[in-house]
Chains A and B, each alone.
Chain A
């Protein structure tokens, strides 16, 4: 295990200065992700237009550097993305965090991949995987990909 791999500069930066933090006024979708193990919460807010395009996205919450950085990077990435794309990226990210060595989706640009891959260090820390995925599960709920009680890891 290597701490440097887990706490990369990009994670420390996003963890300390999360982007898109705070509720915005005219959101029309929202959902909360919760980690019962530690009590951490991440609430995701969306402004979704009639084409199911994310016009605006933000989050509120408290948690560790990993969960805050992951939420921050996710909100940056998902802005202006449309419905089927959002789902594809979401599944690709969760697959990478759990098992896949790389991100496969063509929808993610190279510099975005680098940012997301900075979170891959949690693979070596099974107890921390949930920290990296909490915001993504909240987004899945807000996009109506799953019901709150649904714990499935793949959204179809």
Chain B
């Protein structure tokens, strides 16, 4: 499939946005949706809707099967050993909160250390902060180097005999650094420390193999993978899901409820309390099929080429300063423009139909380290082209002109 054909699958590009062709460079924030995903939500609600896992009428059974089919698709997509290692959540944020809460409850005590990195998104810091408050847990940040990388050596240096869990990003949403997560996991496991990987930016762009990676937890955001909002995935090794206490209580996650006590359901129900985002789960199955049809390897190759091209184009622009020059870089181009604040850049680019993000990108620790309150960020998806990056550069020159 050519990029031109792939782009046609996304209906948003058929419409003008404020009289412009859309140049969407905000996929690290959220990706656009292919028609098949949109259609699947419509079809489910119009022809097949029922709640899942409860009633035994025809629609309920059919909907349950569709819901569980996505679980199997996800399992295969990330090569998890067992389908019950896939837990649906309301987002990657909830996936991380689930681990911080349950793991923290059972295994963390005063003085224990949680090791993060300075690259982390707020959603992989704030959930751990609660444990600092409630249990006196210490949070350590492995330092980012001047390239925007966190190396294996830095992680190793920060591990102590108090380190109880390591929680790190797979791919930084600001510097684009791809961390050596397999090596970090291996190192952590040699010291009996479990590893959580925030895969929000990893899963949409890189081939995943949970059995090879061997991490304990991996959090995924579905709306960044051409899927619906309101849905995330927690991959967790089965032994953890069996050992850890339940997270939220409610319908669907119990075995038996009596006045004197409650027993909890089997996996994966134990962690899926209440009515889940059924339509989103079923539609997300189409996102996986869409990615599989193109091939995640092809997506990665395309995006890596574009990243290199984007860097070249922006480097030639003397007023642009790229943020982050990591060894292995994913599809994120953060930058500043001399004399123009990122918010002003974003507003001016928007006038040309160029959608980027400006601000701290939910990474204030990282921006403090950079000594910047805000940066501008162009991030890529499968539908982007070199022309998009040329347009970005042209619109940046327009910013310069306005502010000259």
Q: How large is the interface on A (under 10, 10 to 19, 20 to 34, 35 or more residues)?
A: 10 to 19
A-B contact pairs, 23 of them (CB 8 A): A1-B18, A3-B347, A3-B348, A3-B402, A7-B344, A7-B402, A16-B339, A16-B403, A38-B359, A38-B360, A38-B374, A39-B364, A39-B367, A39-B374, A40-B374, A62-B373, A63-B341, A63-B373, A64-B342, A64-B343, A65-B341, A65-B403, A128-B343
Residues of A close to B348: CB separation below 8 A: 3, 7
> Which residues in A have their C-beta under 8 angstroms from that of B344?
7, 64-66
Task: Please encode chain A, from 119 to 152, with 1 for each CB lying within 8 Å of some chain B CB and 0 for all others.
Answer: 0000001001001000000000000000000000
Q: Which residues of A contact B343 (CB under 8 A)?
A: 38, 40, 63-64, 66, 128, 131
* In-complex Cβ contact of A40 among B351, B373, B402 (8 A): B373
A38–B347 Cα gap in the complex (Å)?
Answer: 13
B359 touches A37 (CB 8 A): yes
Q: Is the interface of A mostly helix, strand, loop or mixed?
A: mixed
B340: A residues at CB distance < 8 A = 65
List CB contacts (< 8 Å) of A49-68 with chain B.
62-66
How near does chain A come to B396, taking the closest CB pair, in angstroms? 14
In contact, B347 and A39 (Cβ under 8 angstroms): no
Residue of B nearest to A4 (CB): B402
Using Cβ atoms and an 8 Å threshold, which residues of chain B touch A40? 343, 373-374
Provide the residues of chain B in CB contact with A1, threshold 8 Å. 18, 351
User: Measured between C-beta atoms, what is the minimum distance from B249 to chain A in Å?
Assistant: 32
B403 in contact with A64 (CB, 8 Å): no
Which residues does chain B contribute within 8 Å of A6, judged by CB atoms?
A: 347
In the assembly, what is the distance between CA of A68 and CA of B14, in Å?
38
Task: Determine if A41 is an interface residue (Cβ-Cβ < 8 Å).
Answer: yes
Q: Does chain B have a CB within 8 A of A12?
A: yes
Q: Does B358 count as interface, using CB distance less than 8 angstroms?
A: yes
| Residue of B with least CB distance to A7 | B402
A8-60 contacts to B (CB < 8 Å): 12, 16, 37-41
Which residues of B359-404 are within 8 A (CB) of A? 359-360, 364, 367, 373-374, 402-403
